[in-house]
C-alpha cells in the first residue's frame, strides 16, 4: 500500500479519489484474499436468491441474513479501501444481527418481542453473556454464540469507539532532516506488514463465515433453501480461513 500521510486535512474530492486508488491497489495485490471473498459471496448468493416465503414468520430471518450480507460487502469494501476500523465496526453490526437471528431461529414467536424491543432483545448481549459466564452453554441458541460475542468485544475495543486501540495504523510522529518533530494523520488505515494485513483480512472473513453458520440449520433443515453440500462448503471455508489466520497471527494473538 502507498503511504498516505497528510500535513493538512483532506478535502472531500481528494479523499474519495484516494479511496478509489486504494481499492484498485488492493484488488491488484490481494488476489488470494479475493478468492475468500468470492467463496463467501457464493454461499450468500445461494442462500439469498429467489426467496419464496411459505410462512411470513420466516421473513425476519431472511431480512437479518440480508442485513449481514450488506455488512459483508460494506466491511470488505472498507478493508479494501484501507479503512480498517470501519471494516470491523461493520462486522460488529453484522454480529449483532446474527445474534438476533439465532434467538429468533431458535424460537420463532420471540420475534414479537424483537419488534417490541422487549426482553431479551432490549439487552440481548447481556442476556447472551449470562449462560456463558455460568457455563450453561446448552441455554444458548447456537454453538457459535460464544465465538461471536468474543469477536463482538474485540470489534468494540478496536473499531467502535475512540479507544486507544482504534488509532492503530492511523497516527504517526516523525523527525525530518532538520530534526523537527511532526505529528501527522493517516486517513487510510492499514498495516505496513503484509502478513499482519493478511491476518486482518482473514479475521474479517472468519467473522462473516461464522455468522453464516448461525443461519445454516434454518437454511438447510427448515427451509431446504440450500442442500447439505452448502453446509459442507461453509465448514470447509471456516476451516481454511482459520488455517490462514493461525499462520499469519501476531505472537500475542497466536
The mean pLDDT value of the chain amounts to: 87
Query: Are residues 173 and 182 in contact, defined by beta-carbon separation less than 8 angstroms?
Result: yes
Three cell numbers, residue 235:
465448514
Nearest to 66 by CA among 16, 100, 32: 100
For every one of its 254 residues, what pLDDT tens digit does the chain have, with 9 covering 90 and above?
Answer: 444 545 677 889 998 999 999 999 998 888 888 999 999 999 999 999 998 877 778 999 999 999 999 999 999 999 999 998 899 999 999 999 999 999 999 999 999 999 999 999 999 999 999 999 988 998 899 999 999 999 998 887 765 555 555 555 566 666 767 777 766 777 888 778 889 889 999 999 999 999 999 999 999 999 999 999 999 999 999 999 999 999 998 876 65
pLDDT of residue 160: 57
Nearby residues of 213 by Cβ (< 8 Å), 6 or more positions away: 142, 144, 234, 235, 238
pLDDT of residue 1: 47
Amino acid at each position: 500500500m502507498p503511504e498516505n500521510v497528510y500535513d493538512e486535512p483532506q478535502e472531500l474530492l481528494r479523499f474519495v479519489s484516494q479511496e478509489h486508488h486504494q481499492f484498485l491497489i488492493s484488488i491488484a495485490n490481494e488476489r488470494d484474499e479475493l478468492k475468500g471473498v468470492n467463496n463467501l459471496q457464493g454461499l450468500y448468493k445461494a442462500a439469498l436468491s429467489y426467496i419464496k416465503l411459505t410462512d411470513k414468520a420466516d421473513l425476519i430471518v431472511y431480512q437479518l441474513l440480508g442485513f449481514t450480507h450488506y455488512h459483508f460487502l460494506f466491511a470488505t469494501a472498507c478493508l479494501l479501501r484501507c479503512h480498517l476500523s470501519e471494516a470491523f465496526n461493520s462486522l460488529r453490526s453484522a454480529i449483532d444481527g446474527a445474534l438476533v437471528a439465532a434467538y429468533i431461529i431458535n424460537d420463532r414467536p420471540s420475534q414479537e418481542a424483537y419488534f417490541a424491543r422487549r426482553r431479551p432483545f432490549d439487552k440481548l448481549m447481556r442476556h447472551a453473556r449470562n449462560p456463558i459466564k455460568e457455563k450453561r452453554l446448552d441455554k444458548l441458541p447456537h454453538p457459535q454464540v460464544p465465538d461471536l460475542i468474543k469477536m463482538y468485544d474485540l470489534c468494540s475495543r478496536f473499531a467502535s469507539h475512540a479507544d486507544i486501540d482504534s488509532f492503530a495504523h492511523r497516527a504517526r510522529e516523525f523527525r525530518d532532516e532538520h530534526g523537527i518533530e511532526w505529528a501527522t494523520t493517516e486517513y487510510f488505515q492499514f498495516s505496513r506488514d503484509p502478513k499482519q494485513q493478511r491476518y486482518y483480512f482473514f479475521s474479517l472473513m472468519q467473522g462473516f463465515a461464522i455468522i453464516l453458520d448461525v443461519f445454516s440449520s434454518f437454511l438447510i433443515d427448515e427451509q431446504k433453501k440450500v442442500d447439505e453440500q452448502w453446509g459442507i462448503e461453509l465448514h470447509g471455508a471456516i476451516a481454511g480461513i482459520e488455517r490462514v489466520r493461525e499462520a499469519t497471527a501476531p505472537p500475542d494473538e497466536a
